[in-house]
Structure 1
């Protein structure tokens, strides 16, 4: 990480996107209640794994500990704004929150998070050594300590509807190229039946649209910045990747693509309304649950498509962090350690289904017989994708900061989101890719001045 990674509180607040407009948004997901014990507040992203923990907390964690957990669930973009405001402002509204691999190194450097290594290593039952190294490393500060505990880890891969492929006599390779994907999308797109050739995120947000798109940029040979911080947002490689992505979505993508993020694509693909979907490996658990998906048992999983690189999957973890402002650190750690434990995985498997276990964080998960059976369609590709993700060198040239699908600097949340808004507009047909990236280049040049 560059020496200038730390930022002032005012600087981080400045880079949150539309924070004022989101400060009162969202919905309270309810609370687990039990007895007259302590109450902690938890802010989390509205993904299926978080919805599962909300269902299980009252009858298990609260019943065991007497600690009530009051949950607030928000969509990803709103969650990022809300948690950044609270942590950077030292607001103290939340005792625990889901944060990602992007935030933790930055926030730990600024002294905003409790380190969790001490508690994790002191608890033999927690078995910190079982946590997958790539996930721990992504949540580790400069002092070598872990500042958030992984709830689940993921890379990205391509999911495809095997029935639709078979009907057209098509065969998906284990390591497809983007050119092959585009060809498949053209052959499988069927507007008459309401089936898109592919679903790809078009919703603005550095962690929405630009999560998959930056991996396409990487494998096309592009980068946000070169090693010396020279911006390359409108370079030929970045432009070619973005134009390819926009064209693919426009021609063969889902309806309403400019408003479609992870959740929307999960619903679209899970309802059988898209032939392919490139996104997070963590989606597989929901897709293989027959209670939540119409395509359970009908999905194939292969490595992230490539163009010039051998692999292109991202690396991410949603993790539980404890803001320094909490006055209930002991209770907060009890919740975090329970939520990221082996016992919690067993609880999910036995109560909700083994495919829904929040995986990608523990080595032992992949030795559970029931999980191995339920996840046999995607477990190996998931692990392989995580192992091959390279945050230090995800493309064809050296990088100035860590990150596969993001640049590990504070300014990237603002930069990535602003450029994503322009690219989303290009998907909608209201601007061109060239104009979107020309504007993005100017913004990247302003960011680069801080590091030159």
Structure 2
């Protein structure tokens, strides 16, 4: 049976499997990333099959989304029925009773097809509280033509030292291209996603086993020094204003030689319809510092249902549709296999059509499977998470640290001052939260 026929049949059966109810409008909060914008574009397929449901979309940048959704969920105001959240929020919010357990998915949804590590990151006490829309790790994206021009070969597993030497050599020859692009915009999920992952590879850790912050340590100093030097010497102008979406656009416009960021970006930068360098892109692992840890993270953007929603059953229907195998086939039919949401389902990486269309697929899978959120640092730590720590206080701590690093990046303060400020605020938060000396 052709993919298009299967999609149509699924939509028909999907609609028939639920009773007809009075018309309801679901308010969906999501992030303004290409895959989510595509979901919004394709959502008429859902509403056509479910005429009793209308959709009201609120699409925001990453920082704004997190702020609005967190406020809505924590205050139980019910402004949003469906929220786009990730591996950090889901178990914490499920523990608080803020999310609906997505139990009862039909057999054809095949929850067991979801990669175990991704499913575990979105679960609490055995229940799945958010369904993964896409999952990602991080890796190195680079311009093969620029590497050829300076007679450099990117290793399959580059070091941070090699990355800096390559950025320097390319910048010297190609003054119209940024030698390297890295996140600089402040946010626990923006610049800190990269910085935390980089720090892990340098042997740093956020807390010791007694929850004492270690931000003034030598490993953190080397991390921040190298990060700021890379961007100050070879990065884009005003790097502190560049987040994931801004860097994605810079890379697609041919302005980045090397970009270390989320694997999900690969489909956009290799799409000739949107990228001016689509045929000049290659990939390698996230860099390491020779200590046995790569700087690759594990994340999933997922759809959860607010426990304050009065339309939970309708909301679960949409979540099921948007994260199903059939949705993947719908994207493949309308947008091409290389543009399907990656990283969530094992069956996708057994699909020869996808593997043939997505030159980044195998490295994406390797990066996801090799990420170690339960053991993120070189030394033992009391928390889980690679680019975050799985405690409620991390959102404030992460953003505060990211703000100090951004100040050092701008040259407003020294790296040592950034470390001291970050250490102070983190210690204060952990003391008030009764972590230090109590856990």
TM-score of the aligned structures, taking structure 1 as reference length: 0.89
Match of 1:139 among 106, 122, 128: 122
After superposition, the C-alpha distances for 1:424-448 in whole angstroms (9 at most, x for unaligned) are 1211111111111101101121233
Matched, 1:38 2:20: no
Q: Within 1, Cα distance between the matches of 2:175 and 2:378? A: 40
> What is the deviation of 1:392?
1.4
After superposition, the C-alpha distances for 1:105-124 in whole angstroms (9 at most, x for unaligned) are 110111100011x222xx01
Give the aligned partner of residue 15 of structure 2: none
Q: Within 1, Cα distance between the matches of 2:22 and 2:334? A: 26
Give the aligned partner of residue 100 of structure 2: 114
Q: Within 1, Cα distance between the matches of 2:142 and 2:408? A: 26
Give the aligned partner of residue 268 of structure 1: 250
Written as runs of structure 1 = structure 2, the 5 A alignment for 1:19-418 is 37-58=23-44, 60-66=45-51, 67-116=53-102, 118-120=103-105, 123-141=106-124, 143-189=125-171, 193-307=175-289, 308-375=291-358, 377-418=359-400
After superposition, the C-alpha distances for 1:382-423 in whole angstroms (9 at most, x for unaligned) are 111111100111121111111001111111100110111111
Bigger mean CA offset, 348-357 vs 184-193: 184-193
Give the aligned partner of residue 13 of structure 1: none
Match of 1:422 among 393, 404, 420: 404
Q: Within 2, Cα distance between the matches of 1:407 and 1:162? A: 35
Instruction: Give the secondary-structure state (helix, strand or coil) at the position aligned to 2:43.
Output: helix
Structure 1 residues not aligned, in runs of 5+: 1-34
Instruction: Give the secondary-structure state (helix, strand or coil) at the position aligned to 1:228.
Output: coil
Q: Given the superposition, is the C-alpha separation of residues 432 and 191 from structure 1 closer, same or farther in structure 2, using an over 3 Å criterion? A: farther
TM-score of the aligned structures, taking structure 2 as reference length: 0.92
Q: Within 1, Cα distance between the matches of 2:417 and 2:324? A: 48
After superposition, the C-alpha distances for 1:241-287 in whole angstroms (9 at most, x for unaligned) are 11110110100011221100000110111111110000000100111
> What is the deviation of 1:193?
4.2
Q: Within 1, Cα distance between the matches of 2:293 and 2:37? A: 35
Q: Within 2, Cα distance between the matches of 1:114 and 1:391? A: 24
Q: Within 2, Cα distance between the matches of 1:91 and 1:190? A: 54
Q: Within 2, Cα distance between the matches of 1:42 and 1:72? A: 6
Q: Within 2, Cα distance between the matches of 1:297 and 1:320? A: 33
Q: Within 2, Cα distance between the matches of 1:36 and 1:229? A: 51
Q: Within 1, Cα distance between the matches of 2:22 and 2:338? A: 35
> What is the deviation of 1:302?
0.8
> What is the deviation of 1:192?
6.3
After superposition, the C-alpha distances for 1:264-313 in whole angstroms (9 at most, x for unaligned) are 11011111111000000010011121111112132111111000224331
Preserved contact between residue 376 and residue 384 of structure 2 (Cα < 8 Å): no
Structure 2 residues not aligned, in runs of 5+: 1-20
> What is the deviation of 1:367?
2.1
